[in-house]
Amino acid sequence: MAVHPIDYRYGSEEMRKIWEEENKLQKLLDVEAALARAHAKVGNIPKKSAEVISEKANTKYVKLERVKEIEAEIHHDIMAVVKALSEVCGEHGKYVHLGATSNDIIDTANALLIKDSLGIVLKDLRELRTILKELAKKHKHTACIGRTHGQHAVPTTYGMKFAIWLDEIQRHIERIEQAKERILVGQMSGAVGTMASFGEKGLQVQRLVMEDLGLKPARISNQIIQRDIYAELVMILALIASTLDKIALEVRNLQRTEILEVSEPFGKKQVGSSTMPHKRNPIRSEKICGLARIIYSNVIPALLNNPLWHERDLTNSSVERVILPETFMLLDEMLKNMKKVLSGLEFFPENIKRNLYLTNNLIMAEPLMLKLTEKGMGRQEAHEVVRQIAMKAFYEKRDLIEIAKENEVVREYLDDEDFKGLKPENYIGLAPQIVDGVIRYIEEIEQKEAQRS
């Protein structure tokens, strides 16, 4: 019976298969097989034994049920795997796990699981990057009101919003690619990292195992791969979650009834409320924001796992059984929902324009001030004059430009022609060019990625 929602509600089948018990067992067996092959290459065990161990190190032969049965008797997870594998290897089983300590197998297998999981995350991030790039292109001229402190500020464009998120997603891709050099490492170094159990060929055995598995060998370890590495991983995943949280929060705010400039897609048969048939709730965006909170909370135990007693204690183990699959599964759910939200984002142009003009041109106070300074008024004087005009427009609920036209001081500097260009749509600065710059940068990166693949 499933208990945790990642078993049945959150995360894709693709990600779930990586972290399910059967696959985790297979990764442990893969490491044991690579160890046997390395021993054979350096002459520590017969080649035939390595071949048999490699063949039998498969869940077709080493059954999960048998491993659990042994663990129930001996209360040691890795020795249960070792015993189960040894059983099916017959006389060659005596060479299984030779020289290794439990975390040589666990941490190296974890690196394989993390490698596969990061592959899915990177794939989703690149697909999200494509969606955001197209939205930025399409809406680089779509003027809308910018908001600071929740208040109307000055105009911006939707292209700017999308390009900011696009640039951030690209940084996450770069962070993962850079961090993979530090994160995707394994070890084969014995009980306290000295390789004493492997003898003089320890460094060679470790190198061969990691080459076999496509990992880098840790430069140094004690009984475990140092957990600053795992902490960095979880923090990067949490940082990605924070970007998705940010985007989803913006969509939720912009979908509010009073604003309704954009909306996440809403299916023809989708139900918004069990009692209010009219509701169109941003449930995907809300889920993204909610799941981010769980991922944030996993950063603290990841950090606490780094300081352990001496060469290692067991306090990190139970924690990692939870936070590694949970963080990857929940981020996977968030990424896939974000792709759905943004690829189906619905725009309401009439509301975008309505909100742009909602304050009766109060948002044109800054360009009015700058126009006065352009015509010769001092900047500080212009600020005060326009501030008084803005307060008058606010309290009298009148158009700022109209009141400015009536102001004698303003009229000394501006004529009717000067006022014609003072429209929100005209005050988006270099937004289209800025967006184009981000798009060019992303497309150059995409071209390099395509060449490498």
Q: What is the CATH number of the domain that holds 415?
A: 1.10.40.30
What would the two tokens of residue 427 be?
């005050």
Question: What are the C-alpha distances in Å from 155 to residues 263, 271, 426?
Answer: 20, 35, 9
79 C-beta neighbours (distance < 10 Å), count: 15
Whether 277 shows a pLDDT value over 90: the answer reads no
Residue 368 is assigned to a structural domain of this protein: yes
> What pLDDT is recorded for position 269?
83
Does residue 380 share a domain with residue 256?
A: no
Reported pTM: 0.95
Residue 437 is assigned to a structural domain of this protein: no
- Mean pLDDT over 247-262 rounds to 97
Q: Which long-range contacts (CB under 8 A, 24 or more apart) does 392-397 make?
A: 393/360, 393/361, 393/362, 394/362, 397/360
Considering the candidates 149, 274, 278, 453, report the single residue annotated as catalytic: 149
> What pLDDT is recorded for position 241?
98
Domain ranges, residue 122:
116-186+219-356
Active site residue 149: yes
Residue 209 to residue 216: CA distance in whole angstroms: 9
Whether 280 shows a pLDDT value over 90: the answer reads no
- Mean pLDDT over 141-152 rounds to 97
CATH of the domain at 124: 1.20.200.10
Active site residue 152: no
Whether 77 shows a pLDDT value over 80: the answer reads yes
Does residue 330 share a domain with residue 276?
A: yes
Whether 63 shows a pLDDT value over 80: the answer reads yes
* Residue 262 main-chain phi, psi, to 5 deg: -140, 165
Considering the candidates 4, 76, 141, 273, report the single residue annotated as catalytic: 273
Does residue 349 share a domain with residue 237?
A: yes
Whether 334 shows a pLDDT value over 80: the answer reads yes
201 C-beta neighbours (distance < 10 Å), count: 17
